[in-house]
Amino acid sequence: MTHPRVPIPKRGVDYRGKIVLAPMVRSGECPSRLLALKYGADLVWGPETIDKALIGCTRRLNPITNTVDFTRYSNNGVKHGGGTEGQRESVIYRLHPEIEGTKLIYQIGTSDPETAVQAASMIAPDVAGIDVNAGCPKPFSTTGGMGAALLKTPDKLCAILEALVKEVGNKHEIGISVKIRILDTLEDTEKLVRRLVATGITGLTVHCRTTPMRPRERAIRDQLRMIVNVCHEAGIACLMNGDVTSRDEALQLMQEYGTDGAMIATAAEKNSSCFRSEKDGGLAPWQEIAKEYMRFAMEVENRWGNTKFLLAQIIPGKAPAHQAMAKTRGYFEVAQALELGDELIALAKSVDERLEIGVVKKETKAERKAKNKVAQQTAQEKREQKAAAKTMPRTSRSRSPAAKKRKVDIGELNMPLDVSREMGPGTVTGQASTLAV
């Protein structure tokens, strides 16, 4: 039976036939996505990023890393807007347009149609799609009514999707999709999915676990065929997520359950070459993965804490290199510990210097606060002086030290040489020379 297919927007991507990197907090940052693409991922999802975190950011082209950075100043600074000298900007989202721009899906954490549209509109020109997170069970997401909490408020979830389709998808010609978890019963899940596919989305991903379930619990796939059928009836692509460990396994599960694609999560966190089929080489040794990850991380100047976290997943815990890596404080030290070669070690040193990490002395938080405080006080003093000058009577302003100095300087221009400042009473030697002539 042939089913209809919703049209894919001009700048969007079709999820059918794709093995993709799942959205993962901490593990889905820019270098991880670039590594997954290198080893064969068809598409990559970024980590869930809350709409309110993106709103207010400044979009910048970074000429050093060739990335697009969405940045904002931390709250530990001036509250008048902008930043003070020495105040640091935080990178909220970083993407590499040349490598991943046409394959990157931005996953948004939201609980409100208006803020969802506002945030998605900012990043839509730089990505291939917007995906709504309606499956994350972690408190940081559900507490605000986002993530898996949206499964309990289907009216709100549908309103968010409809607003994104109308205000973002149609305007920017990209697809809008949603990622959910299964509900307790087949009937409840079917009822929800039928509502979702009617909102105008182009794709739906189902994580085959209920909200209370954790990754260590085996995925439940008994509702998967029903979800696939409902999606296909509406012409929507359906991806599966949960306990998919390799490209070959993904292809086998897609054939068994009829899904259009599959997501790989934790397996990709440890070794991105899981996106490579056995016939194309299969899993690469961890040493190769660690080296390539480090290369990407340094090229985009990834935050060191995140890089170190990912290296801890990539390098086996029992390997001596794991213990050596755990003691490092920056790229230079870890490049030496992993013996990455002169080229990458030199790059690591320069990155450490720019990021002020590792063996380079890093300005402490207390020092930044003190510097910002001084800058704020100076700025306030200047504002007060300017305000006082405006309210000062004209006669008073003309008698100010600065005004008097200007008056004296102008007067001196008309003085004879021998009584000007250059030849005044203090310059006896000069006067004597003049008289001698």
Catalytic residue IDs = 136
- Residue 427 in tokens: 């310059």
How many Cβ atoms are within 10 Å of 5's Cβ, its own excluded? 14
The closest of 177, 169, 198 to 11, measured between CA atoms, is 169
| Cβ atoms of 132 and 176 closer than 8 Å | yes
User: 244's torsion region: left (phi>0), alpha (psi -120 to 50) or beta?
Assistant: beta
Question: Where would I find the beta strands (DSSP E) of 135-217?
Answer: 175-181, 203-207
CA–CA dist 326, 308 (Å, integer)? 8
Greatest Cα-to-Cα distance within the chain, rounded to the nearest angstrom: 116
Which residues in 59-69 are b (16+ Cβ under 10 Å) and which e? eeeeeebebbb
CA–CA dist 183, 337 (Å, integer)? 47
Task: Compute the chain's Rg from CA coordinates.
Answer: 30
Strands 67-73 and 58-62: antiparallel
How many Cβ atoms are within 10 Å of 364's Cβ, its own excluded? 9
Q: Which helix (H) or strand (E) holds 105?
A: strand 104-109
| 3-state DSSP assignment of residue 160 | helix
User: 173's torsion region: left (phi>0), alpha (psi -120 to 50) or beta?
Assistant: left
Which residues in 24-50 are b (16+ Cβ under 10 Å) and which e? beebbbbbbbbbbbbbbbbbbbbbbbb
